[in-house]
């Protein structure tokens, strides 16, 4: 059963990687996708591609680290489509990768602004709209870094752990009001982020064969599944597609 047809799906970090793949997949499933990113030119191009193929898409520039930008994004999506049914908090950064004693405090703080505060801003402004509607789904892109320590990734591990806590708190506060909140831990994905990770050479993830990374389209498929009632047992947690059970639930091939 298609649970996203005619729904409004807002996706942050939609200019490339997981966000761009998700926008295309949700549009193919009949949703109106609202692409958000700092790069307006990129999301304009993807939105035009989607509409040329018969889909519905809107591109809105948004810097998730800025609360006013996210507030405008959510309000504009509702004004145009009448609702916000799903928010995918996907925008995230990992570069620059460095050990703690060598890290730049300003750059470290910028990662917090995007990876953590960006998710908070999405929750802050989407939840009231969803509570008023009596329904809605928020998916926070997570990582194994939320519960594991990786050398050189202090900023990424810390922010992803904090996002997992936000997922748990939001579920506790708003599940009874119809708002579904869940995290998705996809494993390593073939995106531009992996280029920076590989170039750092700091921890085992940087040494992985590029063939080990899954395509972003697999993540997009998991995101659509998380919008369904079948995913309800995972609400308030991080759902993983790094296991055979997780992949089977989504309809992906088992681990090799």
Give the residue numbers marked as catalytic.
156
CA distance 82 to 221: 25
In sequence order, the 6+-apart residues with CB closer than 8 A to the CB of 58 are 32, 33, 34, 35, 47, 77, 80, 81
Write the Ramachandran bin of 74: left for phi over 0, alpha for psi from -120 to 50, otherwise beta. alpha
Distance CA 80, CA 206 (A): 42
Cβ neighbours for 225, distance < 8 A, ≥ 6 positions apart? 231, 249, 250, 251
């Amino acid at each position: 059963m298609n649970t996203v047809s005619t729904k409004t799906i807002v996706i942050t970090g939609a200019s490339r990687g997981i966000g761009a793949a998700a926008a295309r997949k949700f549009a193919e499933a009949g949703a109106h996708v609202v692409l958000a990113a700092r790069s307006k030119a990129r999301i304009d191009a993807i939105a035009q591609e989607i509409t040329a193929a018969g889909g519905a898409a809107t591109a809105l520039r948004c810097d998730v680290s800025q609360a006013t930008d996210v507030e405008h994004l959510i309000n504009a999506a509702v004004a145009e489509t009448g609702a916000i049914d799903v928010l995918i908090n996907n925008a995230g950064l990992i570069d620059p990768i460095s050990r703690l004693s060598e890290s730049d405090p300003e750059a470290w703080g910028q990662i917090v602004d995007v990876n953590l505060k960006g998710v908070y801003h999405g929750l802050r402004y989407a939840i009231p709209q969803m509570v008023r509607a009596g329904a809605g789904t928020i998916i926070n892109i997570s990582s194994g870094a939320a519960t594991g320590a990786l050398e050189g990734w202090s900023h990424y591990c810390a922010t992803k752990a904090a996002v997992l806590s936000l997922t748990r708190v939001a579920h506790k506060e708003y599940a009874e009001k119809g708002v579904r909140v869940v995290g998705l831990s996809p494993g390593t994905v073939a995106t531009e982020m992996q280029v920076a990770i590989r170039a750092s050479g700091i921890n085992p993830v940087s040494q992985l064969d590029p063939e080990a990374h899954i395509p972003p389209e697999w993540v997009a498929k998991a995101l659509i599944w998380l919008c369904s009632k079948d995913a309800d047992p995972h609400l308030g947690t991080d759902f993983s597609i790094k296991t055979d059970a997780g992949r089977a639930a989504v309809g992906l091939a088992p681990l090799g």
